[in-house]
Amino acid sequence: MPRKPKGRAWYLHPLRWLRFAVLLFAAASVTGVLLFRFVPIPFTPLMLIRLAEQKSEGKPMRLEKSWRSLDNMSPRLPEAVVASEDQRFFLHRGFDWDAIGSAFTANGRGRRKLGASTISQQTAKNVFLWPDRTWLRKGLEAYFTVLIETLWPKRRILEVYLNVIETGDGVYGAEAAARRYFQAPALDLTGPQAALLAAALPNPRVWSPARPSGYLLRRRSWILRQVDHLPPLPWAAGAARPLPQAPSRPRGSARDTSGPQAIPARPPNAPATETPALDTPAAFPATPAESTGRPAPFDPEPLPDDPEPGATVPLDSNPH
**CATH number for the domain that contains residue 213:** 1.10.3810.10
SS3 167: strand
pLDDT of res. 107: 64
pLDDT of res. 113: 60
pLDDT of res. 294: 44
What gap in Å lies between CA 135 and CA 137, rounded to an integer? 5
Q: Looking at the domain assignment, is residue 253 inside a domain?
A: no
SS3 262: coil
Task: Note the pTM of the prediction, 2 decimals.
Answer: 0.71
CB count in 10 Å sphere of residue 211: 13
The burial class, CB within 10 Å (0-12 / 13-18 / 19+), for 314 is exposed
pLDDT of res. 151: 96
Could you tell me if 309 and 214 are in contact, meaning their C-beta atoms sit under 8 angstroms apart?
Answer: yes
* Residue 86, CA distances (Å) to 7, 94, 99, 181, 314 in order: 55, 10, 10, 24, 27
Q: Looking at the domain assignment, is residue 41 inside a domain?
A: yes
Q: Which residues, other chains included, contact 38 with Cβ-Cβ below 8 Å and sequence gap of 6+?
A: none
pLDDT of res. 97: 78
Q: Looking at the domain assignment, is residue 27 inside a domain?
A: yes
What gap in Å lies between CA 210 and CA 314, rounded to an integer? 10
Number of domains, the chain: 1
Q: Looking at the domain assignment, is residue 120 inside a domain?
A: yes
pLDDT of res. 4: 56
pLDDT (tens, 9 = 90+) of the chain, 320 residues, equals 566 555 556 556 778 888 888 999 999 999 999 999 999 999 999 999 999 999 999 999 999 999 999 999 999 999 999 999 999 999 999 888 777 777 666 666 665 566 678 999 999 999 999 888 889 999 999 999 999 999 999 999 999 999 999 999 999 999 999 999 999 999 999 999 999 999 999 999 999 999 999 999 999 999 999 999 898 888 875 444 443 333 333 333 333 333 333 333 444 444 443 333 333 334 444 333 433 344 444 544 433 334 343 333 333 333 33
Q: Looking at the domain assignment, is residue 267 inside a domain?
A: no
Q: Looking at the domain assignment, is residue 103 inside a domain?
A: yes
pLDDT of res. 243: 38
What gap in Å lies between CA 137 and CA 122, rounded to an integer? 12
What gap in Å lies between CA 153 and CA 224, rounded to an integer? 26
Q: Looking at the domain assignment, is residue 247 inside a domain?
A: no
Could you tell me if 186 and 174 are in contact, meaning their C-beta atoms sit under 8 angstroms apart?
Answer: yes
Rounded (10°) CA dihedral 179, 182, 184, 189: -120
Residue 91's nearest CA partner among 282, 292, 305, 309 is: 282
User: β-strand 166-168 against 171-172: which pairing, if any?
Assistant: antiparallel
**Domain assignment of residue 185, given as a range:** 15-233
Residue 283's nearest CA partner among 275, 273, 291 is: 275
Q: Looking at the domain assignment, is residue 183 inside a domain?
A: yes
